[in-house]
Amino acid sequence: MDRAPLIFGSTLFLVLVLFRHMLEANPTTHMLVLLPLLAASGYLVLSSIALHRVRINRPAANSLVLVAVFAILFWMLPRNIDASITELAFKAAKFTTIPLLVGGALALAWHRSNPYLQGFLKANALSMLGVLAFLYTHAPARLCSSYLAADQVKLGYGFLWIALALCVVWCWPLFFPMPRAAAFEEHSLSPARL
């Protein structure tokens, strides 16, 4: 077992717990820094502990990926974000469900899930981020009562920039394939091989 991801993921989780008040003070750092890093900490810890021991089939992997998606959707709702600041039960749920149900589930299942499901979820993530960007920048009232309207608009633009960045990252291999893959394709299609 590789201990580096376990140590780094555990340390990251502890740092996020210690600095949670600073990160939760602003909706942009709360939703675009704290929540993804919580998922990353769970991904690192679960991948180092169970990835080589647990073998799951494709239907189970698809189910785990869907569990992660529903957990993400739950924590994207403004009502739940507000509750995670003011209510202890929601705060505890946030710091347990996001590392386990999002990061842990994706660590165990993403690479074993159906490629069509992966593509569908990536496209859905881009559209969801676009809708959230529009919603947070054009809402006539505050969606999160714990934050100011100006901070809400900044969060909307943050969603937009993340959607654009993910679009570039996910589309880049389609237009600029990896050199090894291109060399492998040329080698497999050479006249001597045919």
- Measured CA distances, 182 to 44, 177, 179, 191 (Å): 31, 7, 5, 16
pLDDT of residue 169: 93
**Over the chain (194 residues), what is each successive 10-residue block's mean pLDDT?**
83 95 93 95 87 78 94 92 92 95 92 91 92 90 86 94 94 80 49 50
CA dist 117 and 90 (Å) reads: 30
Cα–Cα distance between 166 and 161 in angstroms, integer?
9
Residue 180 has what pLDDT?
64
Place of tokens 């569990």: 67
In Å, what is the CA distance from 1 to each residue of 8, 38, 47, 52? 14, 22, 10, 8
Burial 92-126 (b: 16+ CB within 10 A, else e): ebbbebbbbbbbbbbbbbbeebeeebeeebeeebb
pLDDT value at residue 174? 80
* pTM (predicted TM-score): 0.84
Residue 38: both structure tokens together = 């919580």
Q: What is the pLDDT of residue 83?
A: 92
What is the reported pLDDT for 24?
Answer: 93
